[in-house]
Amino acid sequence: MEFDTIAAISTPMGEGAIAIVRLSGDEAIKIADKIFEGIGGKKLLKVTSHTIHYGYLFDPKDGSKVEEVMVTVMKGPKTFTKEDVVEINCHGGLVSVNRVLQLILKNGARLAEPGEFTKRAFLNGRIDLSQAEAVMDLIRAKTDRAMNVALGQMEGRLSRLIRKLRQGILETLAHVEVNIDYPEYEDVEEMTHKMLLEKASLVQTELKNLLQTSQQGKILREGLSTVIVGRPNVGKSSLLNSLVHENKAIVTDIPGTTRDVIEEYVNVRGVPLRLVDTAGIRETEDIVERIGVEKSRQVLKEADLILLVLNYSDALTEEDENIFRAVKGLDVIVIVNKTDLPAKIDMDRVKELARDHKIISTSLLEDRGVDELEEAISSLFFEGSIESGDLTYVSNTRHIALLNQALGTIEEVIEGVEMGTPIDIVQIDLTRTWELLGEIVGESVHESLIDQLFSQFCLGK
């Protein structure tokens, strides 16, 4: 498959020591050679692959120097895209890197679309679709655990398992076809039903095992939507600041200081939290505060975890009890804050309202109880199993949806066999399972979906 030559800046924009501009395509080395002047007149077209060379970029039109650079030449197919790739290391200023990119574009390359380098790696057969998606997960990983899951997927852990399942299904379908073509043997139908049931049950078990990891994997990929809720002046903003280890929210003794929803990402024991500090939930005449309270009620409905904060030095109020009712049925950790002050809260009533939810006592002013809270958050969702390095975690929403569909069709196969449905009817569901699994790795996927997936990538990847 032949493509034109593309180029893009592969490092973040802004000031830095070094920036990288990447080219990929049949003309990549030729274009770079045209604008490069190496020590002793070195020509990039003649250098050994996977070597780096010092020199200057110049404009062929007027011979003016553009930048001092180090140029890496990598000849296909042993590159990320399986095409010829050139990476130009230049100084990391905004003007510098843009001048280099514009020079390259003027001399024959085209500006890459978002994700086009990774898309070419997929289209040229270097990686499959699930591995390509893992590249973006790796870039966006917010914790070591999330990065390890992305690395495992990028290295093909999920792909190998999916391909193994598809191969087993394909072999079963081939046996079924043979038996349908030679119906003269009396025991053929009985043997075929038995074979189908055995294979379908194995596939069902594997799919269930994968889907069991999906909640944890999705949390690691997208972050756990965590809402801090409570009435005004119980310490919600102090809790946000303690978890973030930075003064992100204004803290005062005046109730209603937080008027809007504040979002922040935080790493808690390897679990990425999308932490939301809400306006205190109470009845208020203040129009601005009332809008904040309504937003607080809305984000409650979308949360994976609720951190419900109470004031140890205040008696429970009707507002506190209303909040408990509002979070009924959700994952909640109750935090009794301000334990450095005299006790006025009825802890027996708190336990009654909390039911089976974990209760943590804290004094955020004295930095007490935060470690216990972090441990409670981690154990609530992962219970230590995330440390198992040999598990294949499914974290991508698209993959989870396809696995659920595949599980549904394989269960229809099992049901059909048990009901004695004709083989050629059962075979349709088995074939559909094979196709759905193929969509995960990109072996049976629509071109429009491929375009949509890669459009979410950053420009230089």
| Residue-wise pLDDT tens digits, 169-179 | 988 888 777 66
| Predicted pLDDT at 414 | 93
Flag whether 173 is in a domain: yes
3-class SS of residue 85: strand
Do 439 and 415 belong to one domain?
A: yes
| Predicted pLDDT at 191 | 57
pTM greater than 0.85: no
Do 37 and 83 belong to one domain?
A: yes
Q: State the SS3 of 382-441.
A: CCCHHHCCCCCCCCCHHHHHHHHHHHHHHHHHHHHHHCCCCHHHHHHHHHHHHHHHHHHH
CATH of the domain at 80: 3.30.1360.120
Q: What separation, in Å, do the N-terminal and C-terminal C-alpha atoms of the chain show?
A: 20
Do 231 and 151 belong to one domain?
A: no
Task: Kindly state the average pLDDT of the residues 58-79.
Answer: 94
Flag whether 120 is in a domain: no
| Domain boundaries, position 273 | 227-386
Per-residue pLDDT band for 140 (boundaries 50, 70, 90) equals confident
| Predicted pLDDT at 144 | 74
Do 239 and 375 belong to one domain?
A: yes
Do 243 and 262 belong to one domain?
A: yes
Check if the beta carbon of residue 73 is closer than 8 Å to that of residue 47.
yes
Non-local (6+) Cβ contacts of 441 within 8 A are: 128, 129, 130, 159, 162, 163
If we measure between CA atoms, which residue out of 104, 89, 98 comes closest to residue 5?
104
| Predicted pLDDT at 406 | 95
Q: Is the pLDDT of residue 257 over 60?
A: no
Distances (CA, A) of 176 to 171, 195, 308, 418: 9, 9, 57, 16
DSSP annotation of 265 reads E
CATH of the domain at 160: 1.20.120.430
Do 238 and 352 belong to one domain?
A: yes
Check if the beta carbon of residue 153 is closer than 8 Å to that of residue 130.
yes
The average confidence (pLDDT) of the chain is 82
Which range is least confidently modeled, 115-119, 153-157, 161-165, 332-336?
153-157
Between 293 and 96, name the one with better pLDDT: 96
Do 408 and 382 belong to one domain?
A: no
Do 17 and 105 belong to one domain?
A: yes
Q: Which helix H or strand E contains 236, and what residues bound it?
A: helix 236-244
Domain count for the chain, please give it. 3
CATH of the domain at 299: 3.40.50.300
| Predicted pLDDT at 53 | 95
Flag whether 99 is in a domain: yes
Distances (CA, A) of 119 to 20, 79, 226: 19, 13, 34
Which range is least confidently modeled, 86-90, 121-125, 212-216?
212-216
Q: Please identify, among 351, 386, 421, the residue that sits at the C-terminal boundary of a domain.
A: 386
Flag whether 241 is in a domain: yes
Do 239 and 354 belong to one domain?
A: yes
Q: Is the pLDDT of residue 287 over 50?
A: no
| Predicted pLDDT at 288 | 42
Q: Please identify, among 367, 386, 405, the residue that sits at the C-terminal boundary of a domain.
A: 386
Do 233 and 154 belong to one domain?
A: no
Task: Give the span between the Cα atoms of 169 and 430, in whole angstroms.
Answer: 7
Q: Are strands 51-58 and 65-74 parallel, antiparallel or unpaired?
A: antiparallel
Flag whether 18 is in a domain: yes
| Predicted pLDDT at 106 | 95
Q: Is the pLDDT of residue 37 over 80?
A: yes
Q: Is the pLDDT of residue 93 over 70?
A: yes
If we measure between CA atoms, which residue out of 405, 381, 403 comes closest to residue 220?
381
Between 140 and 296, name the one with better pLDDT: 140
Between 265 and 432, name the one with better pLDDT: 432
Do 17 and 139 belong to one domain?
A: no
Do 369 and 408 belong to one domain?
A: no
Flag whether 222 is in a domain: no
Flag whether 119 is in a domain: no
| Predicted pLDDT at 49 | 96
Q: Is the pLDDT of residue 19 over 90?
A: yes
Non-local (6+) Cβ contacts of 109 within 8 A are: 5, 6, 7, 23, 25, 27, 28, 31
Flag whether 147 is in a domain: yes
Q: Please identify, among 80, 112, 144, the residue that sits at the C-terminal boundary of a domain.
A: 112
Distances (CA, A) of 430 to 191, 199, 339: 17, 10, 60
Per-residue pLDDT band for 366 (boundaries 50, 70, 90) equals confident
